[in-house]
Amino acid sequence: MTRQQLALSALTATAVVVVVLVAPAAALALGAVAAFGALVYWLGRCHHRGPLGLLPPTTADDGTRLPARWYCDACGRSWPANLEQRDRSPIVRFSGYDQSKLPAAARRAAALEKQRHSLAVRRAGLVVSQRSSEATPANVTSISQRRAAR
């Protein structure tokens, strides 16, 4: 305690003693009012140290969206948890396209379409000619040129 706090405490105690000695009825009434206020405050406040439960975000009966909330089981109050991100815009990882990949992608799409068609024809029990059921040759990339470059 600092010197000022000690002086303030002594002054307050002296004032209380003077009020009690001079006007005991007023001091009693003041004390009763203070005690009643403290009791109302003590009964009205929540007695839990921290939030007890976390309610997930839900949709109310009228269709409004309720965010995630903390819930106190004793007093039944709930309050927003503020866990949600403010910015809900999607994060762009890639944009545009690489034109050099277009021929390979078109080739793969054509091979996939041919394979699906042959599987559907086979599933239907139709006779498939040997030539149409041949798989397309794999696109093999030679690595000998790369090894020769080193």
**Residue among 20, 72, 111, 128 that touches Zn ion (CB under 5 A):** 72
User: Nearer Cβ to Zn ion, position 48 or 108?
Assistant: 48
The CA-based angle 78-82-86, given to 5 degrees, is: 145
User: Nearer Cβ to Zn ion, position 54 or 105?
Assistant: 54
75 binds Zn ion per the rule CB under 5 A = yes
- Contact (Cβ atoms closer than 8 angstroms) between residue 53 and residue 71: yes
Cα end-to-end span (Å), the chain: 80
The tokens describing 21, both together, are 């000695």
**Rg value, the chain, Cα:** 40
Encoded one letter per residue, x for contact with Zn ion by CB under 5 A and - for no contact, window 29-48 reads -----------------x-x
Sort 130 into a burial class: Cβ within 10 Å, 0-12 / 13-18 / 19+.
Answer: exposed
107 binds Zn ion per the rule CB under 5 A = no
User: What are the residues facing 66 on neighbouring strands?
Assistant: 58
User: Nearer Cβ to Zn ion, position 47 or 88?
Assistant: 47
83 binds Zn ion per the rule CB under 5 A = no
Q: Residues with Cβ < 8 Å from 56, sequence gap 6 or more?
A: 68
User: Nearer Cβ to Zn ion, position 71 or 128?
Assistant: 71
The tokens describing 62, both together, are 């009228």
Using CB atoms, what's the residue nearest to Zn ion? 72
User: Nearer Cβ to Zn ion, position 51 or 111?
Assistant: 51
**Residue among 1, 25, 74, 143 that touches Zn ion (CB under 5 A):** 74
Tell me how long the chain is.
Answer: 150
Number of residues located near Zn ion, criterion CB under 5 A: 5
Q: How far is the CB of 80 from Zn ion (least distance, A)?
A: 15
List contacts with Zn ion (CB under 5 A). 46, 48, 72, 74-75
